[in-house]
Amino acid sequence: MTALTGFINSFAALLAPAAGNDNRLNSWITEAKATDLPHLHTFNRGFGLDRAAVNAALTHPFHNGGTEGVNTKTKDVPRPARPFETSAPRACPEAPQAARDAPAR
């Protein structure tokens, strides 16, 4: 548990964007792979999916946090009640009879 805490703290230090964090991340990954902590191994595999994006996030001061905050606030706005909406698709009354008789997907 002590080793895991040390890895978490050292990774948290990488989250403040700074030049050289990409190299420090390489060292962190190498050290984490050498341990017997399977959750860290799984975490490290995720970095390989888009390493360029991870390196950019750790080294550049630019981020989209403001945009994501607005998106979250927008999603939290309650929608007005819509009693006419159902989970099943409804046929348009102006549609031809064949389209209205077609089975729902």
Confidence at residue 23, expressed as pLDDT on a 0 to 100 scale? 92
pTM: 0.56
**Predicted confidence (pLDDT) per residue in 34-59, tens digit:** 998 888 888 888 888 888 888 888 88
Average pLDDT in the 27-33 region? Answer: 90
Distance CA 78, CA 76 (A): 6
**pLDDT given for residue 27 in this prediction:** 92
pLDDT digits (tens, 9 = 90+) for 4-25: 899 999 999 988 888 999 899 9
- Which tens digit of pLDDT belongs to each residue from 54-90? 888 888 888 777 777 777 777 777 666 555 555 555 5
CA proximity to 40, closest of 11, 17, 20: 11
pLDDT at 96: 57
